[in-house]
Amino acid sequence: MYESSQNTTYDDQWYLDSGATNHLTPDLSNLGSKSDYTGQEKITIGNGQVIGINHTGTSYFLTPMSSKIFTLKDLLHVPQATKNMLSVSKFCRDNKVYIEFHTHHCLVKSQDSKETLL
């Protein structure tokens, strides 16, 4: 679920969201390549507030456990958000991985090799 507040600080960790359709970040610097968002869609957060999307782009990160580079396609820049949210379904589909959830942790694994990547 997305959260928002009026203060300008945010948590810079990334959080998995199994109910999210898209990835989002309040920090424009998280978008490696970006363009202004010209669409009409908005984000509805947990308290029902509707907030705007300013930019869309792509970001990449390397895993500490392997040489796999993960891609966050169509990452939305939403300045009023307070957390970086990663859509589980979109991340898995775009990176050909699955996420294995355990009681106190989760693992990101390759769909092809079943290797633990993160």
* pTM check: above 0.85: no
pLDDT band at 2 (very low <50, low <70, confident <90, very high): very low
Q: How confident is the model at residue 45 (pLDDT cuts 50, 70, 90)?
A: confident
Could you please report the per-residue DSSP string of 44-105?
E-TTS-EEE--EEEEEEEE-SSSSPEEEEEEEEE-TTBSEEEEEHHHHHHHHTEEEEE-SS-
pLDDT score of 61: 87
Mind listing the domains of the chain with CATH numbers? Answer: 11-110 (2.40.70)
- Overall average pLDDT of the 72-85 stretch: 94
Among all residues, which ones are annotated catalytic?
17
At 66, is the pLDDT very low, low, confident or very high (cuts 50, 70, 90)? Answer: confident
